[in-house]
């Protein structure tokens, strides 16, 4: 194999955010841009020679082209085997599982998650380590540092590899293995959930289902699991064909972008259960007939009911939530007498806790839920968890949620996003908040008295690392909270996120519209910034 060393220009903007390097496709298509970043990653890693690397992506525009480039750079840098999803496709949770299952050194996942795709959309690349989870901050910082001084990359002179045929081929000492994108993942799901019960509940019509794959990666996974394995009718699936531009959808499963599903679930024709996933399959939106379950509530409900699922029958070690996620799961943890950890936004912070066996379930308010089974959040896993719960409890989603609120109280919750804010303005808002938090404690605003106000700084109890500047928390005496932080995944200007929550123990008051129930806090939040 002939290996060339290419002299390249250095880029200074390759700083990975909350979840890998995400940029407009046009940025990634600049000369040597992708090549540089991949080389910067490999230069920052050690002892991977002759080991295996998993490669796959969500199928968006530039996915296949990028994979061909990565194959050649990985070959030149001495990997022993490349394990690639058929046609270059792997959902993020499936990639995580495959890294773990095959004991790979790591993996490269090509995705910009829920950001729109296509020629004018976004592209992204993320490195995952051998536990299957996103590289920790010390690694992503090292990638960025290396990229700023990089002058050469190595590339093997190889023909393009045929990605559609399953099997292994060897090119000298390098093995290239194309695997079925779905099979390993489906088998993992079968080992966690009661597929016999699910099959019976679906085939008898007790559970009817609508799943929206938003023209992104989960279509083939959903078809295999829900239709082929569990017997759901094919018309339970919507937008199940992955498209390079995601059919022009914004594949972010929430009430705005998955409004077709939401409209259905609030109509007379609603099935018993509705769900959607995002571009790369790690997010989930859960709905029942006439109800939308907030991700924060979903995490709490899964934790409270986990022992009903075969894979979690022996109970939970602990739980974790990202800082802005509501405190609903904290109440469950307290009742179960298990630890509950508060981590910064981003899945990478759960990895150490999962590896050290300190937690079994974790989640984020941003439609991400997951467990020990992989080191990424997992959309279809969450969907199967809910289906398994409905089948076991023989109750509707609405009844399960309302019973949960009756037992634990309701954490009424909302997130407001201010997108494409000019960066300098966003920075000014953050500086001003930093000043204000000094004086806020003990001040009273209407019925809200500030108990604490701080800038969240996380101390990882496993590796002792510290992650500072993770957003501002303002907590009130009555348990309410306002959180401010800047997004780390946006690609245009800055996105300011404001998270608002209020605890309501009184079940007579559980049916309020969150925007009305939170109105005073929303006003306060706007006043602060
Ligand atoms: C967003 C979410 C965060 C999630 C990340 C990747 O990041 O808020 O919870 O982990 O996407 O899916 P943000 O844009 O807020 O930095
Ligand atoms: Zn995603």
* Segment 42-63 mean pLDDT: 97
- Looking at residue 488, its pLDDT comes to 86
Percentage of residues in the chain with pLDDT exceeding 90? Answer: 97
Query: Sorting pLDDT into bands at 50, 70 and 90, what band is 432?
Result: very high
Q: Which atom of ligand 1 is nearest to the CA of 19?
A: 6
Kindly give the distance from the C-alpha atom of residue 251 to the centroid of ligand 2, in angstroms, as a whole number: 9
Q: How many CB atoms lie within 10 A of CB 258?
A: 29
- DSSP type of residue 438: H
Residue 19 has pLDDT above 90, yes or no: no
The model's pLDDT over 372-397, given as tens digits with 9 standing for 90+, comes to 999 999 999 999 999 999 999 999 99
Q: Give me ligand 2 centre to Cα 519, in Å.
A: 30
Confidence check: pLDDT of 35 > 90:
yes
| Percent of the chain topping pLDDT 70 | 100
User: Residue 17: pLDDT band by 50, 70, 90 thresholds?
Assistant: confident
Give the tokens for residue 346. 């981003």
Q: What mean pLDDT is predicted for residues 183-188?
A: 98
Query: How many angstroms does the Cα of residue 162 sit away from the middle of ligand 1?
Result: 34
> How many angstroms from the chain centroid is the CA of residue 204?
33
Q: Which residues, including other chains, have CB under 8 Å from residue 256's CB and lie 6 or more apart?
A: none
Render pLDDT for 225-264 as a digit per residue (tens, 0 to 9): 999 999 999 999 999 999 999 999 899 999 999 999 999 9
Residue 186 has pLDDT above 90, yes or no: yes
CA angle 463, 336, 201 (to 5 degrees): 105
Query: Which residue is closest in CA terms to ligand 1's atom 2?
Result: 366
Exposed e or buried b per residue across 404-417, where buried means at least 16 C-beta atoms within 10 angstroms of its C-beta: bbeebbbbbbbbee
User: Could you tell me which of 296, 317, 295 has the C-alpha nearest to residue 306?
Assistant: 317
Residues in contact with ligand 1 (CB, 6 Å cut-off): 18-19, 113, 322, 345-347, 364, 366, 368, 487-490, 497
| DSSP 3-state of 196 | helix
Q: How far is CA 219 from CA 18, 215, 225, in A?
A: 25, 7, 10
Average pLDDT value for residue range 28-41: 98
Name which residue sits closest to atom 15 of ligand 1, judged by CA.
487
Supply 50's token pair.
Answer: 């002759």
The per-residue pLDDT for 444 is 97
Q: Which of 243, 214, 216, 240 is nearest to 226 (CA)?
A: 240
Provide the pLDDT for residue 491.
Answer: 73
Under the banding of pLDDT at 50, 70 and 90, the label for residue 513 is very high
pLDDT score of 267 more than 80: yes
Q: What is the model's pLDDT at position 380?
A: 98
Q: What's the rounded mean pLDDT across residues 345-367?
A: 96
- Looking up tokens 């390759």 gives 14
Q: Identify the band that residue 489 occupies on the pLDDT scale cut at 50, 70 and 90.
A: confident
100, 136, 145, 286 from 104: Cα distances, Å: 7, 17, 25, 32
Q: Which residues are catalytic?
A: 113
- Mean of the pLDDT values across residues 133-160? 96
Residues 296-318 have a mean pLDDT of 98
Residue 18 confidence (pLDDT): 79
- Looking at all shown ligands, the one closest to residue 253's CA atom is 2
């Amino acid at each position: 194999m002939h290996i060339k060393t290419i002299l390249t220009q250095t880029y200074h903007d390759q700083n990975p955010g909350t979840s890998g390097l995400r940029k407009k496709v046009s940025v990634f298509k600049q000369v040597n841009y992708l090549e540089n970043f991949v080389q910067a990653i490999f230069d920052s890693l050690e002892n991977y020679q002759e080991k295996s690397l998993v490669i796959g992506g969500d199928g968006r525009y530039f996915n296949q082209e990028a994979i061909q480039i990565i194959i050649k750079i990985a070959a030149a840098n001495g990997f022993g085997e490349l394990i690639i999803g058929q046609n270059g496709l792997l959902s993020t949770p499936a990639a995580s599982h495959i890294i773990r299952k095959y004991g790979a050194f790591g993996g490269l996942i090509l995705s910009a998650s829920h950001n729109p795709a296509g020629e004018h959309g976004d592209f992204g690349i993320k490195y995952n380590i051998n536990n299957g989870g996103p590289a920790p901050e010390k690694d992503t910082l090292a990638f960025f540092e290396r990229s700023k001084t990089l002058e050469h990359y190595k590339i093997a002179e190889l023909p393009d590899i045929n990605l559609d045929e399953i099997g292994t081929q060897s090119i000298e000492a390098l093995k290239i293995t194309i695997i079925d994108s779905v099979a390993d993942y489906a088998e993992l799901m079968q080992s966690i959930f009661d597929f016999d019960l699910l099959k019976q509940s679906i085939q008898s019509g007790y559970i009817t289902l609508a799943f929206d794959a938003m023209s992104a990666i989960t279509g083939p996974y959903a078809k295999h699991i829900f239709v082929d394995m569990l017997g759901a009718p094919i018309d339970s699936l919507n937008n199940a064909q992955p498209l390079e531009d995601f059919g022009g959808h914004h594949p972010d499963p929430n009430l705005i972008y998955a409004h077709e599903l939401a409209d259905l679930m609030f109509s007379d024709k609603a099935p018993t259960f509705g769900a959607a996933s995002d571009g790369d399959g790690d997010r989930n939106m859960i709905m029942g007939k006439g109800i939308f379950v907030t991700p924060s509530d979903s995490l709490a409900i899964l934790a409270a009911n986990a022992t009903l699922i075969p894979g979690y029958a022996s109970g939970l070690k602990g739980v974790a939530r990202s800082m802005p996620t509501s405190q609903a799961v904290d109440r469950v943890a307290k009742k179960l007498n298990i630890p509950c950890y508060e981590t910064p936004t981003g899945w990478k912070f759960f990895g150490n806790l999962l590896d050290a066996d300190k937690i079994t379930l974790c989640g984020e308010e941003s439609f991400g839920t997951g467990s020990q089974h992989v080191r990424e959040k997992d959309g279809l896993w969450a969907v199967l968890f809910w289906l398994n719960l409905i089948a076991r409890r023989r109750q509707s989603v609405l009844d399960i949620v309302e019973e949960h609120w009756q037992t634990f109280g309701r954490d009424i919750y909302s997130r407001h996003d201010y997108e494409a804010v000019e960066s300098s303005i966003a920075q000014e808002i953050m500086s001003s908040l930093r000043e204000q938090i000094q004086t806020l404690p003990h001040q009273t605003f209407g019925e809200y008295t500030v108990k604490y106000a701080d800038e969240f700084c996380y101390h990882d109890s496993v590796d002792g690392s510290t992650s500072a500047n993770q957003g501002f928390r303002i907590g009130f005496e009555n348990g309410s909270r306002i959180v401010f932080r800047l997004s780390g995944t946006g690609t245009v200007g800055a996105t300011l996120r404001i998270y608002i929550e209020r605890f309501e123990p009184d079940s007579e008051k559980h049916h309020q519209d969150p925007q009305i129930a939170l109105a005073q806090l929303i006003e306060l939040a706007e006043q602060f910034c």
